[in-house]
Amino acid sequence: MKLAAIQAAFVSAATGRNEFETALLASVRAQGNASASERLNAYRANVKGAHLQALDQAYPVLREVLGPRYWRQLLERELPVYASPSSDLNAYGDFMPELLRRARSERPELRELSYLDALATLEWHVHRVRFVADDTAFDWDTFANLPGDVQASARFLRSKALAVVQLDYPVDQIWRSHNNLETVEDGKAERTYCCVHRTGRFDVGVTRLDRKEFEMLQSASTIPIGGLTGADTEALAQQIVAWIRRGWITGFAIDQ
């Protein structure tokens, strides 16, 4: 087999697909105490183990909610293949909300747990925010010295280490409870808005927003500052200053 064919067959087989296995096994020397299939299975176990470990790290709350044994069994059955389009293991696992939606439609024991996909969505954002580049602080001096008309046409820039999320359940309570920050209240379906952000140098926090805050924070990067005026301009200004102080807004852009 040529190198390219070996590699295609090996990655395919090691990540749980079988279509090239026969060709690959024919190119392998079987000797000693293990057959060629057993040897290939050692790689399958390694690959699966690495990906399951990555999912454990990305979804610690889901794992706890479902129980580690059920979580592992669910992943073993619902993940037919273990391959990733990225060399970055931290980028593996964005499929979890969809996987849970599918699992809930097929597994009676999960049918009532309709908040799971929302919890997965929230945890994925927490996971990603953890690894995003650190932002510099908002440059107050430069902003304050802009001419009034330029200031009004500028747009605020949200921190790169921030996600504004709309969820169908108040699962931020579950997340905070897991992190010993809050006790869980009634978890009925309820449109919930959250900001996932850094706290301190690298911890991640989840802060509940009301709908107005959510919409404003979501549009802050697209609407010129002059267009952000609401019914209460003073309250709006205070809100934006608070977000800048919390590091949620870290810069501004001036369109040419």
Separation CA 230–CA 137 (nearest Å): 26
Residues 141-180, mask of contacts with another protein (x by CB under 8 A) = --------------------x-------------------
- Please give the distance of CA 198 from its chain centroid, rounded to a whole number: 14
Burial of 25 (0-12, 13-18, 19+ CB in 10 A): middle
Interface region with another protein, contact rule CB under 8 A, candidates 26-34, 108-116, 174-182, 188-196: 26-34
Q: Which stretch binds another protein (CB under 8 A): 67-75, 81-89, 139-147, 177-185?
A: 81-89
Task: Mark the segment that binds another protein (CB under 8 A) among 47-55, 116-124, 174-182, 186-194.
Answer: 47-55
Cβ contact 110:78 at 8 Å: no
**What is d(CA 123, CA 62) in angstroms, rounded to the nearest whole number?**
8
Name which position in 19, 22, 38, 254 contacts another protein (CB under 8 A). Answer: 38
191, 165 contact by CB (below 8 A):
no
Q: How far is the CB of 126 from another protein (least distance, A)?
A: 11
Verify binding: residue 15, another protein, rule CB under 8 A: yes
Is 61 in contact with 125 (CB distance < 8 Å)? no
The answer to whether 19 and 13 are in contact (CB under 8 A) is: no
**Closest C-alpha to 197, from 233, 159, 225, 241:** 159
Q: Report residue 202 as tokens.
A: 């690298």
Task: Name the residue among 216, 159, 177 with its Cα closest to residue 193.
Answer: 216
Residue 36 and residue 219: Cα distance in Å, rounded? 57
Report the nearest approach of another protein to the CB of residue 245 (Å). Answer: 19
Instruction: Looking at residues 188 to 247 of the shown chain, list those that interact with another protein (rule: CB under 8 A).
Output: 198, 201-202
46 binds another protein (CB under 8 A): yes
Residues 6+ apart with CB under 8 A from 203: none
Q: In the complex with another protein, which residue's Cβ is closer, 46 or 229?
A: 46
Candidate list 21, 60, 84, 239; residue touching another protein; CB under 8 A: 84
Minimum distance, C-beta of residue 146 to another protein, in the bound complex (Å): 28
Minimum separation from the CB atom of position 85 to another protein (A): 6
The two tokens of residue 139 are: 């440059």
| 85 makes contact with another protein (CB under 8 A) | yes
Residue 67 Cβ vs another protein, minimum distance, rounded to whole Å: 21
Q: Does 18 bind another protein (CB under 8 A)?
A: no
Chain contacts with another protein (rule: CB under 8 A): 1-4, 6-8, 10-12, 14-15, 27-29, 31-34, 36, 38-40, 42-43, 45-47, 50-51, 54, 82-90, 92, 130-134, 161, 198, 201-202
